[in-house]
Amino acid sequence: MSRMAAPAQRALVAITAHYTPDVARHRALAEVVAAVQGWQIQTAIVLFSQNATALASALRAAGARDSGVSLRNYHPNSPNYHPWMLAFAHRKLFEAQVARFDLFAYLEDDIELTWAHVVAWARDDAALARHNAATGARWSRGFYRLHRDDAGRMSRDDIFACEFNFSSWPCRIPPPAGGGGALGYVKLRNPYSAAWLMRRARLAALINSSQWRPRRPGASKHVLPGVPWSIRESAAAGDQFLHGAGYRGCGLGAAVVPYEMTAAGPRLAADAGVRHLVPAKPCGCKLDDLRKDVFVAQCLCDGAAATLAGRPAGCGVDDGGGARYTPMRRYSDVW
């Protein structure tokens, strides 16, 4: 897409990067930065870290270019400081700069968001705006995560995301009648929220809402009213909970991702899948994020080498109530 046809003119991108000595994370962040530097519009990148000096040295060692990048320390001198509050550092920046940019992005330090992702997001953002205006809905375009294993195979990286019966799932917008390759949109059961894009008007609405400024982290487990997650996850959620926790029993948040109908059935659109550069945690006991009560989900993976990244064949999860979910499939065979 040419510069004249770009979905925006000036973008401000905030990336949260908690510094550790882990060289693999430094290399991943260098890839994240390089992907954003490849956007075909004027783009300012701000990295927030609790140790910006060390992170700057690590990025140089990892081969990152400093073009368009600034680093900022975030370590508030407060008795209520929590390390995960770093995820909120972008909020003062966005509030101060909302009039100067027309596109805003929030990323964690291991999510690759390319220019192709931005262009595809803009396509779907326009389609959803038309749908929302006609129906009164408030859906927004989200992403899902992909992970590449050592053999180069890509698989989904969000536990439970596609574990539902597509044909009876009410949380989707079918493609327009007539086909012709048009996309539909579906709310995933467990969407990925820690990477988002917003235009100026949508960001301004979030800034003026009750979900912009966090409560003191020591005052409550949840630091944003109406957001059912804790500190770091609350910051990453953007405006997903601004208009309620879900629609028509569709679960958490308001984000949908595009899908296409193929001869083999519905399939997630590849240009909504962002690459997760750091491997997921090894398969083991995990808390189910989708329930307000806390229980341990039993992981039934075969072999110690299996991971939750893509949920290999043979891995199912007991939801603690007797129902067993089917194994997660490869992203190219979603339903």
d(CA 332, CA 329): 8
Q: How many CB atoms lie within 10 A of CB 157?
A: 25
Mapping DSSP to helix (H, G, I), strand (E, B) and coil, where does residue 182 land? coil
φ, ψ of residue 203 in degrees (nearest 5): -65, -40
SS (HEC) of 139-160: CEECEEEEEECCCCCEEECCCC
Please tell me the predicted confidence (pLDDT) of residue 218: 52
Please tell me the predicted confidence (pLDDT) of residue 240: 82
Name the DSSP class of 329: P
Task: Give the DSSP per-residue string, 19-74.
Answer: --S-HHHHHHHHHHHHHHHT-SSEEEEEEEES-HHHHHHHHHHTT---TTEEEEE-
pLDDT in tens, 51-85: 999 999 999 999 999 888 999 998 766 666 666 77
Domain boundaries, the chain: 10-333
Name the DSSP class of 209: S
Mapping DSSP to helix (H, G, I), strand (E, B) and coil, where does residue 103 land? strand
Bridge-partner residues for 13, per DSSP? Answer: 45, 105
d(CA 215, CA 209): 13
pLDDT in tens, 123-135: 999 999 999 999 9
pLDDT in tens, 158-172: 767 777 788 888 888
| Mean pLDDT score of the chain | 76
pLDDT beyond 70 at 250 = yes
Residue 270, classified by CB atoms within 10 Å of its CB into exposed (0-12), middle (13-18) or buried (19+), is middle
264 vs 78, more confident: 264
pTM over cut 0.75: yes
**Type of residue at 293:** D
Residue 112, H or E segment? strand 111-112
d(CA 199, CA 210): 19
Residue 82 corresponds to which tokens in the numbers above?
């929590």
- Strand 154-156 and strand 144-148: the pairing is antiparallel
pLDDT in tens, 171-217: 889 998 766 678 999 988 877 878 999 999 999 999 998 888 876 65
d(CA 330, CA 216): 41
Compute the chain's Rg from CA coordinates: 20
pLDDT beyond 70 at 5 = no
φ, ψ of residue 232 in degrees (nearest 5): -65, -45
Closest CA to 87 of 72, 108, 70: 108
Q: Which residue has the tokens 């004027």?
A: 42
SS (HEC) of 190-204: CCECCCEEEEHHHHH
pLDDT beyond 60 at 326 = no
Please tell me the predicted confidence (pLDDT) of residue 75: 73
pLDDT in tens, 290-325: 332 222 222 222 222 222 233 332 222 222 232 333
Mapping DSSP to helix (H, G, I), strand (E, B) and coil, where does residue 106 land? strand
